Chain A
Amino acid sequence: GESVGLHLPTLSVQEGDNSIINCAYSNSASDYFIWYKQESGKGPQFIIDIRSNMDKRQGQRVTVLLNKTVKHLSLQIAATQPGDSAVYFCAENNNAGNMLTFGGGTRLMVKP
């Protein structure tokens, strides 16, 4: 199918390097944040989440950092692999409702 996100910011990294993908969120009342990975032709896939009472959370090869002061979220991927190539979205949940607001996405390209 057609590739969505034709005008996405792109991060290009060498295989084995670490990747850092950034996201600025808009609502200071948001209390829950999620990173999703979307491969071509597929739906978004959950990677890692973090609540607003934390500033760091680690998973397998991934770390999410939250800076509430500047409303900034980042996803760090260690030892990036070709299979990590995808579009990455951050999403925030504002506690006013049960909705997720997604960022525009960043395309990660891993060079072998």
Chain B
Amino acid sequence: EAQVTQNPRYLITVTGKKLTVTCSQNMNHEYMSWYRQDPGLGLRQIYYSMNVEVTDKGDVPEGYKVSRKEKRNFPLILESPSPNQTSLYFCASSPGTGVSGNTIYFGEGSWLTVV
């Protein structure tokens, strides 16, 4: 089954404790991205990657890092999480190297709470 898999789905962590949210897709997609979703703000793009070893900042990259060492994986790293990073995070992927004209598939989301 074609899917985008995120882990963990739910996490409560403390300020400053590094964490990684993994994302894996089994569709051989070139394009992957991370979004955060907050009440009243919709989805905002954090980082995206058009292919292996190619990553770019989205609208809200501060406080986040990503890596794309393999095509299928695109982990989101919070080096020093802060409470304002409490949010619902979505990973997404699409075929091709861009967004336009390519259906984007979203993961089920990761609820992150930083206390």
Residues of A within 8 A of B (CB): 1-2, 4-8, 31-32, 34, 41-46, 49, 51, 89, 91, 93, 95, 97-105
Contact = CB atoms under 8 A, between A and B. Distances in A.
B100 A31 contact: yes
A7 B40 contact: yes
A1 B9 CA distance: 10
Contact of A98 (B44, B99, B106): B99
Interface string B98-114: 11110111111101000
Closest 6 CB pairs of A and B: A43-B106, A98-B98, A102-B43, A32-B100, A102-B42, A104-B42
A7 B90 CA distance: 20
A31 B4 CA distance: 26
Chain B's interface: helix, strand, loop or mixed, by majority?
strand
A32 B107 CA distance: 22
B64 to A, nearest CB: 15
B100 A104 contact: no
A99 B106 contact: no
Nearest to B97: A98
Chain A's interface: helix, strand, loop or mixed, by majority?
loop
Given A43-B107, A89-B43, A98-B50, A1 B58 contact: no
Interface string B33-76: 10101111111110010100000101100000000000000000
Contacts of B111: 1-2
A4 B37 CA distance: 8
Contacts of B42: 5, 89, 102-105
B10 A44 contact: no
Contacts of A51: 100-101
Task: Count chain A CB atoms within 10 A of each CB in B40, B48, B59, B103 and give the residue with the most.
Answer: B40
Contact of A44 (B31, B45, B99, B106): B106
A6 B39 contact: yes
Nearest to B49: A98
B19 to A, nearest CB: 18
Nearest to A5: B39
B90 A32 contact: no
Contacts of B50: 98
